[in-house]
Copies of this chain bind each other. A is one copy, B any other.
Amino acid sequence: MKERILALIEQGKYADIRKELIEMNVVDIAQLFEEIDRQKLLVIFRILPKDIASDVFAYIPNELQKYIVESISDKEIKSIIDELFLDDTIAFLEEMPSNIVKKVLKNTDEETRKLINQFLNYPENSAGSIMTIEFVDLKKEMTVKEALQHIKETGVDKETIDNCYVIDNNRILEGVISIRKLILSEDSALIKDLMQKDAVYINTHDDQEKMASLFKKYDLLSMPVVDNERRLVGIVTIDDVIDVIEQANTEDIQKMAAMQPSEEKYLKTNALVLAKHRIIWLLILMISATFTGKIIRKFDDVLQTVVVLASFIPMIMDTGGNSGSQSSALVIRGLALGEIRLKDAFRVLWKEIQVGCLVGLALSTVNFLRIYFLEKTDFMVSLTVSITLLLTVILAKIVGGILPILAKKCKLDPAIMAGPLITTVVDAVALTIYFSTAVWLLGI
């Protein structure tokens, strides 16, 4: 398909291209746009029917949107913005430089301009900033027949009509009714008898992650957004919520790998920005790791006497770090999904102590057998290493399990208590245990 269209473009057969394109999914057209050279792209964009053109516009990358808006006439801009859903317009404008925003605003009518400005002012990551205003509102006195007629008259421009929202004369949210229920009910039934009264809703200023967890909890397809007076001002649809969920997961993974979270795509971010997101945590952790170095220096007489002790440092540090990372990753994820709550702290602690003892015993036994029998290490050194390993693993599990919960209790993001930070904490304690045990067992 793609090859055929690219060939048609080569040959300049625009009438044929148009016929092919209007049969295609807009997402696929948008993907195709990324592979066409820009001059031809503009021609093709212009031959698309208005409604398809604006749908495609919503799906292409920001730099192509910018290029198109810079290249087309004011009249064409107006026609795109008129067709775009408001949430797509906002998502697009948020990524544009101010000259483009001005150019677009200049070409919209008074009312839309006011709305856009209002939406651009909602806090980043708030429900208000991703809601759309294209929804169906009904009155509870309507019959099913009147409601369906109302939808038919006003529904063309609506982003979703799967759920309709019932409001009173002051626009205060009173309930929700699915289109399914409408269709399956008698024409003469009243909305107020059919609607669900306890509609799950959210405030414009609430956080998007809170909104996403409500969507997940109640298996919703859309959710009404209200202002402080509970007046219905917009709706959020599930497709945008999936983006919020994936973004939250990406940010958690970034934080867990000791980076500042970023919404930009990896390949589209330049090296300087990538470096900036990574350097701060690396610096903090590097400086923290010098404390571990200080512990070694404190014991350098021990090391001087039994230099072979140094060779087990990497294994002890890595195993401790890995053990801690496992626990913290599970607990951080459990907290994020709401499966673990603050009040579960003691259950987590107890579970990690048990797991730590099991895993620690297994690892230190294997380790002892290996270094004493296979590598013929000195008995007391083997014992020192194995005891350290056991204690380190148990301790790492406890620290890894508890620190994320503590962080949450202190209103910090649990995700920063992941592998890297846990590793640094565990390293210092592990080496203290190691050298103290060595002093005790080897009698240095």
Contacts and interface: CB of A to CB of B under 8 A. Distances in A.
Nearest to A179: B179
A222 to B, nearest CB: 10
Which of the four size classes fits the interface of chain A?
35 or more
A123 interface: no
Interface stretch (A68-76, A241-249, A406-414): A241-249
Contact of A300 (B259, B308, B322): B308
B218 A25 contact: yes
A266 B363 contact: no
Contacts of A184: 151-152, 155-156
Interface in A199-239: 200, 215-219, 221, 238-239
14 contacts: A24-B198, A216-B242, A254-B330, A258-B325, A259-B329, A266-B340, A271-B354, A274-B330, A285-B322, A290-B371, A293-B312, A296-B314, A313-B314, A318-B427
Interface of A: 23-25, 27, 148, 151-152, 155-156, 158, 160-162, 179-180, 183-184, 197-198, 200, 215-219, 221, 238-239, 242, 245-246, 249-250, 252-254, 256-259, 265-267, 271-272, 274-275, 278-279, 281-283, 285-287, 289-290, 292-294, 296-297, 300, 303-304, 307-308, 310-315, 317-319, 321-323, 325-326, 328-334, 337, 339-340, 344, 347-348, 351, 354-355, 358-359, 362-363, 366-367, 370-371, 393, 419-420, 423-424, 427, 431
Q: Which 10 interchain pairs have the tightest Cβ spacing? A: A257-B329, A271-B354, A292-B314, A219-B239, A289-B315, A275-B358, A293-B311, A296-B311, A297-B311, A289-B318
Given A162-B162, A258-B325, 9 more contacts: A25-B218, A155-B184, A161-B183, A179-B180, A221-B238, A266-B330, A282-B393, A286-B366, A296-B311
